[in-house]
Amino acid sequence: MDSFRDRVAVVTGGGTGMGRELVKELAAEGCHVATCDVSAEHMEQTRAESLRDAPAGTRVTTHRCDVSDERQVLAFRDAVRAEHATDRVHLLFNNAGIGGGGSLFTDDRAEWERTFAVDFWGVYYCTRAFLQMLVAADAARIVNTSSVNGFWACLGPGVPHTAYSAAKFAVKGFSEALINDLRVNAPHVGVSVVMPGHVGTEIVANSAAVLGRPSAKEMTDKDLAAVRERFKLPPGVPGDDQLRAMIHQVGEDFRDKAPLSAAGAATIILDAVRAGKWRILVGEDAVAIDALVRARPEDAYEPSFTDELRAKGLFAALRVAP
């Protein structure tokens, strides 16, 4: 697929981050895009920004959809078919995702399962829903977003990261299994699995909103006490206002101090899709971690492994605790 012009693409999680940048870049090439998100406000901003540089006649439609709910996904598919007046889709970017449910022991079960549902079942439901429209195209590709945490289930020593990692491992495995399934049943449809490292996005703030967590400013004394307990902080140190500010700063730093911007990530992804690559590592950190995990799998979860990564300058801006 050398050109995306006049193709039809579906992008989930298009309200912010890599999803928004994918929509913008696709539209700028004259690709018609249908995007969904749980935030109507974010989607409207995406649509406005994507149409600024799009050729005349390019269609960008927005749809509210929680990809973890199959009924909503099917309604989204039907809306795409109607609003784009088409029975075919050339590109499906299963990009929507959230973080949360780090520990089986200390995190709420509902949050754990909600995180897994968005990050894996959303990919599965959307692939199922749009499969016949992809098959109906002359050439098509499914692009599933996994993560470096899809082959390295870790954020560092002492930081449980189970729900997100389990889901991203599942996305990677599902995508790889689809290679042969598609070759047998729909050889003109390809699949790619995207594995980003640290990319500057709003995932910290967006995840909190989806999971119903209060923002840092809205945290009550009970919420702050839970944070102190989780990270073993002494009572009153730091003070409540300072702790709120630190929690807020974590999300800001994740977005603003990342080694790769969301726009840069989108460009890497689309270039790889054009080239027909099935395995897409996004960012120098993703390339380095992949190489090290493959070389020394038995050491991957030892504290010294993370120390070595940090010594290489990786994760310098990544903080998961106040």
For residue range 48-97, what is the model confidence (pLDDT) as tens digits? 999 999 999 999 999 999 999 999 999 999 999 999 999 999 999 999 99
For residue range 220-271, what is the model confidence (pLDDT) as tens digits? 888 888 888 877 788 888 888 888 888 888 888 888 888 999 999 999 999 9
Answer whether 210's CB lies under 8 Å from 38's CB. Answer: yes
Domain definitions of the chain by residue range:
8-201+261-311
pTM (predicted TM-score): 0.93
User: Domain 8-201+261-311 class?
Assistant: alpha beta
Phi, psi of 160 (to 5 degrees): -60, 140
Give me the active site residues, please. Answer: 164
Q: How far apart are CA 226 and CA 103, in angstroms?
A: 14
